[in-house]
Amino acid sequence: MSQAIRFRPQLELAGTVKVDVRNVRHPHYGRYLEEFAPGQVFVHPRGFTFLPAQMEAFARTYMQCNPLYLNEEFARACGFSGLVASPQMVFNVVLSLGVQNDSEKAIANLGYYDAQYLRPVHAQDTIRALTKVVDRKERGAGKPGIVTIRTLGLNQNDEVVLQYQRKIMVAGQGDRPPTTPLPSAADGRMPAFPWVDDAAVTLPSFPALLPAGLTGPSSYYEDFTVGEIIVHANGRTITDEHLALTYAVGNTHPLHFDRIYSSGLSGKMSGDPIVYGGLVFAWLEGLASRDVSDNSVWELGFTEGYHTQPSIAGDTVAALSRVLAAEDAPDGLGARFGIVTFQLIGVKNVGAADALARFGEDLFVKENDKKDLGREKIDAKIFEIERRLLIRKRG
C-alpha cells in the first residue's frame, strides 16, 4: 500500500537558472462573455468533503438557530441519519466551487432563481458541482452581457443535492488573452447535466414524535399568517472577517478579498473588498432564524433573489421577513407540516424596525420593479428573496 522513495537532496537553484522576464504566463480564471456558449457544461474543480465540525461552524458563523445543524441528537430524533449541513452552507459551497469557471470575471451577480434543495447533506458527503450555460445575451459592443447558468451540486453517489439558476453580468474579452481553457472531455462530448424540472425531494421518514423543548415556542406553522411582517430584533456588524469567510467557502473572486483588485475598479464597487453575497444572505437568514426557521424540518429553496446594494466591512445588516404563503404540505405530510413562503429583506446601517418605519411598504417591493411602479429605490436595502420552508405544526 505504501512505498519508500528516495529523492535527490534539494539544492538551491535560483542563481543557476537565468531569469527571462519575457517567458511568462498569466493564468486567468472565470470566463469572458464570448467564452460562454449555451449548452456548455463546466465540471468544477476540487469538490468539498463536508465534515461535522465545519457544518456546525458554518451554522454558528451565521447564527443559524435550527438545532438540526447544531445538535446531532436532535437531528437523529427528527429522523435524519445525523447532523444536517445547513442548506445555506450547501448553497454557499456549491456556488463557490463554480466561481472559478462561472463568475470569477463577473462584474455583478444579477440574481438567484429556482433554487431547490433536493436531499440532505450529511457528514462525510463529498459534494462536487457542475454548471451548464443556458443563455448568453449580448447587449451591444463595449457593453457587458448577461449570462444565464444552471448549477448542480452532486454528492458522491451522483445524486443532486441542490440545483439553482443564476444570472451574471460579464464583460467581453476585448484585447485581453483568453482565460484558462475548459478541460475537454476525452470524447469531445459535454458531461451529463442531470437537472430535473419537476424534482422530488428526498427527506427522512419523520418519526411520529418529534423532539420538544429545544426550538422556539412561536415559530410553528400555526404562528405564521399570510401578510404578516416579522421584524428581527438584532443586527450584525460585518467585520473584515468576510475576507476569510469568502476563502472558507472557497469563492475565488478577488473582489471579495484583494484590495488591490477592488480599489482598482471604477464605480460603486471601487474601494474596500465587497462582501460576497452568499455571506450576506447567510447572515440575514441567521438573523431571521429563531423567529422563522428553527421549527423547520427542511428548507425547500428560494427564488427571485437579488443583492440590491453591496456591503463592506463595517456595515451592520438587519433583516425582516414577510409571510407570502402558508399551505399544508403535500403527500400525507399535511397533517404535521406546512409550507411557508417568506419574503426575506435585508437592510444595512439601519435597524430593522427603523427601516420599516422609514421605508414602509416600499421595503417589500422588488427594486427591479420600482422604476415601472414609479417608486423610489432604497439605498439601505441590500437584499430581497423569497424562500420556502417546510415547518412543523404545533399539532
| Binding positions for a second copy, 61-120, rule CB under 8 A | 61-63, 65, 67, 70-74, 79, 81, 83, 100, 114, 116
Q: Does residue 304 belong to the site contacting a second copy (CB under 8 A)? A: yes
CB nearer to a second copy: give 213 or 267.
213
Which residues, numbered 271-290, are part of the site for a second copy (CB under 8 A)? 273, 290
CB nearer to a second copy: give 225 or 268.
225
Q: Rounded distance, CA 150 to CA 168, Å?
A: 11
CB nearer to a second copy: give 60 or 137.
60
Q: Does residue 248 belong to the site contacting a second copy (CB under 8 A)? A: yes
CB nearer to a second copy: give 22 or 140.
22
Which residues, numbered 112-171, are part of the site for a second copy (CB under 8 A)? 114, 116, 124, 126, 128, 156
Q: Does residue 196 belong to the site contacting a second copy (CB under 8 A)? A: no
Q: Does residue 368 belong to the site contacting a second copy (CB under 8 A)? A: no
Residue type, 59: A
What residues pair up with 165 in beta bridges, in sequence order? 113, 150
Q: Does residue 190 belong to the site contacting a second copy (CB under 8 A)? A: no
Question: Which has the closest alpha carbon to 227: 112, 340, 388?
Answer: 340
φ and ψ at 95, to 5 degrees?
Answer: -60, -45
What residues pair up with 117 in beta bridges, in sequence order? 162
Give the number of other Cβ atoms within 10 Å of residue 202's Cβ: 11
| Per-residue cell: 137 | 445575451
CB nearer to a second copy: give 74 or 91.
74
Which residues, numbered 316-355, are part of the site for a second copy (CB under 8 A)? 316, 318, 322, 324-325, 329-331, 333, 339, 341, 343, 349-351, 353
| Per-residue cell: 362 | 416600499
Q: Rounded distance, CA 113 to CA 281, Å?
A: 14
Q: Does residue 48 belong to the site contacting a second copy (CB under 8 A)? A: yes
The three-state secondary structure class of 169 is strand
Smallest distance from the beta carbon of 267 to a second copy, in angstroms? 19
Q: Is the dihedral of CA 344, 349, 354, 358 positive or negative?
A: negative
CB nearer to a second copy: give 138 or 270.
270
Give the number of other Cβ atoms within 10 Å of residue 132's Cβ: 19
The single residue listed with the C-alpha cell 399568517 is: 225
Smallest distance from the beta carbon of 140 to a second copy, in angstroms? 28
Which residues, numbered 197-226, are part of the site for a second copy (CB under 8 A)? 198-205, 213-218, 225-226
Q: Rounded distance, CA 136 to CA 129, Å?
A: 21
- Residue of 144, 301, 338, 346 interacting with a second copy (CB under 8 A): 301
Give the containing element (helix H, strand E) for 353: helix 352-359
Question: Which has the closest alpha carbon to 90: 371, 241, 278, 270?
Answer: 278
Question: Which has the closest alpha carbon to 118: 84, 73, 153, 68?
Answer: 153
CB nearer to a second copy: give 132 or 388.
388
- Residue of 98, 111, 144, 250 interacting with a second copy (CB under 8 A): 250
Smallest distance from the beta carbon of 354 to a second copy, in angstroms? 8
Choices 31-39, 139-147, 165-173, 384-392; region in contact with a second copy by CB under 8 A: 384-392
Smallest distance from the beta carbon of 168 to a second copy, in angstroms? 18
Which residues, numbered 5-24, are part of the site for a second copy (CB under 8 A)? 5-21, 23-24
- Residue of 194, 261, 328, 335 interacting with a second copy (CB under 8 A): 261
Q: Does residue 270 belong to the site contacting a second copy (CB under 8 A)? A: no
Smallest distance from the beta carbon of 76 to a second copy, in angstroms? 10
Contacts of 15 (CB under 8 A, 6+ apart): none
Q: How do beta strands 126-137 and 41-43 pair?
A: antiparallel
Q: Does residue 384 belong to the site contacting a second copy (CB under 8 A)? A: yes
Per the CB < 8 A criterion, the answer to whether 317 and 283 are in contact is: yes
Q: Rounded distance, CA 281 to CA 251, Å?
A: 15
Q: Does residue 266 belong to the site contacting a second copy (CB under 8 A)? A: no
Question: Which has the closest alpha carbon to 292: 232, 235, 234, 352?
Answer: 232
